[in-house]
Structure 1
Amino acid sequence: MYNSAHNSKSDLILIVDDDTSIRKILRIALEAKGYKTSEAASKKEAIELIALDSPKLVLLDLQLPDGSGEDLVKEIRQWTEIPVIVLSVMSEDEDKIRLLDSGADDYLTKPFSMGELLARIRTALRRIPLEESPLPWQYGNLKIDIVNHLILKNNEIIRLTPTEFQLLAYFVKNTGKVLTYEMLIRIIWGESAQNEMNSLRVHVAQLRKKIEDNPGLPKWLFTEPGIGYRWVSPSQREN
């Protein structure tokens, strides 16, 4: 779910909470200050939106229908340093320390003032390096523009299914990193997914057919046998 305001996409904030009324309150307050917002009501949806939309900050409630917010923080810390501010009724110091150790950047105990939350957001956003802004990727005859959902090969538009695009976006944003089968299955099909290995292989095979000149001898999307896949840039391939 994506909501538009007058600020740039670089100020997109993801609100993760299964309570519709809380999401609405936060959305109205944030958009009044010029931020763009997107919303997730579950852990699975949050992971998908972080992977695809690259929000600049996450506001996270700990109680989600398909897992804990703490587990979500641990998972996304495997592949992104996006700032996460936890919003929770838990007020014990031990709870806060555990969440910060898990990778959260900040913690606000409910109820809190909107002024305090906005101040914490401004502080967190100031820590983000400018080079994190997503840019189109150009690989010889292949161009990938994640922000605009545009894939060009030999200057012709390549049509991808939503799952293929989600995989490609995740690969490109993690160029050079080995992404395990288990991690990719969680991203695409959710934490409770089972027996999706064959589906993953089918989607990767179809993606290769569309973007590789020779799917049997890939230039970009490599298999790490027994582990997962790795997207390689031209400079990394030359090395």
Structure 2
Amino acid sequence: MSVGSARAGPRGSPTDGGLIRRSRWRAENVDARVLLVEDDPSIRETTAMGLRSVGHTVDAAADGPEGLQRFRAHRPDVVVLDVMLPRMSGLELCRTIRSESSVPVLMLTARSDTDDVVLGLEAGADDYIRKPFAMAELVARVGAALRRSQRTDASDRITLGDVTIDPVGFTVTRDGQEVALSNTEFRLLLELAQRPGQVFTRELLLERVWGYDYLGDSRLVDVAVQRLRAKIEPDPARPTTVVTIRGAGYKAVR
């Protein structure tokens, strides 16, 4: 059953018909602190229940200011927030959180407009989920975001021109100055940098960086590359470190 649909309401199944198996989930994932910001009481309750059913600790807020206060007080491992929030929009909340932290942010949206989705990604969100959504899908994406934030696959520093990547320290510098990247931006840069010169299709990057089947939605990759370039390229309009291969994808250049 879907969460956020008229049929689901407060009766939406947080375990999605048994698709979530607690023992398997806990064997593969570390229990995490999740901040959930959702103004609809029934969706908030159902979603929180579903996340708790797989072992996560959930701190729930009903509007933007309350969500920001709880974020600063508790420093969660991942944030799930609705785009349409009272008193402070989800986009504004996401921008504020991103300015203070690289914590993974997943946005929930009932809108189907492509521009609205892109605005969320440009605000700093790592992922978005359309309402109504299956609880199993949200749990899977939260897990993927957590694994991305906790794991690196290399130990040696990598240099791309004036950009240096430290996989162990989880840091990036340009001309000796540290660059603040989100977890997704860091994973994207690291994936490309580990194989300089190799062309990565958008589909391959979705699989390797996001770790989930996003049904070919390449906007996640394009917006993440755009945000990354704004931080590491001297001239983002004429990139020299992460370049586009027309009709194919992206590659890193030493």
TM-score (norm 2): 0.46
TM-score (norm 1): 0.49
